[in-house]
């Protein structure tokens, strides 16, 4: 069977934090012929691993790389790799995906108020917008 996995299944599979759900996630994913991971699922997974589980970017990159390297996994690998690269550089996984999608759509610039994103990706067409706040 070909399955698409939701964020909660991926998180249970990666963390094993809930014994019953983790066993079910592992069994379902291992039994599948193919597993589709939507890029939004990966963005949510990274967010949960950072916020709820307090994993480091390195730990998250290692876990996701191992998962994505499975022959069963079907994913937009370029978008996932862009997210992983941004996470490894000190940014947010989702920002890397957003930047990748903007470039894929052939837009000239990604505009943002996110100073960190602008600093990390200025060479990739990210433009920091100024706001009218004092200071």
Q: What is the C-alpha separation between 111 and 47, in angstroms, rounded?
A: 22
Is the separation of the CB atoms in 95 and 110 below 8 Å?
no
Count, residues in the chain:
135
In a domain, 34, yes or no: yes
Q: Shortest CA distance to 80 belongs to which of 49, 112, 40, 110? A: 40
Q: What global pTM score does this model have?
A: 0.91
Work out the percent of the chain whose per-residue pLDDT is above 70.
99
Give me the CATH number covering residue 81. 3.40.50.1010
Q: Is 117 left (phi over 0), alpha (psi -120 to 50) or beta?
A: alpha
Domain count across the chain: 1
| Per-residue pLDDT at 133 exceeds 80 | no
Give the pLDDT band (50/70/90) at residue 132. Answer: confident
φ/ψ of 112, rounded to 5, equals -155, 160
In a domain, 49, yes or no: yes
- Domain range for residue 29? 2-105
In a domain, 115, yes or no: no
């Amino acid at each position: 069977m070909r399955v698409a996995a939701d964020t909660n299944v991926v998180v249970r599979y990666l963390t094993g934090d809930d014994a019953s759900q983790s066993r079910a996630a592992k069994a379902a994913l291992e039994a599948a012929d193919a597993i589709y991971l939507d890029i939004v699922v990966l963005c949510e997974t990274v967010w949960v691993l950072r916020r709820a589980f307090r994993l480091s970017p390195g730990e998250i990159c290692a876990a996701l790389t191992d998962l994505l390297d499975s022959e069963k996994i079907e994913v937009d690998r370029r978008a996932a790799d862009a997210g992983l690269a941004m996470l490894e550089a000190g940014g947010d996984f989702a920002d890397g995906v957003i930047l990748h999608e903007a470039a894929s759509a052939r837009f000239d610039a990604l505009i943002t108020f996110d100073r960190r994103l602008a600093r990390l990706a200025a060479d990739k067409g990210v433009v920091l917008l100024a706001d009218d706040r004092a200071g």
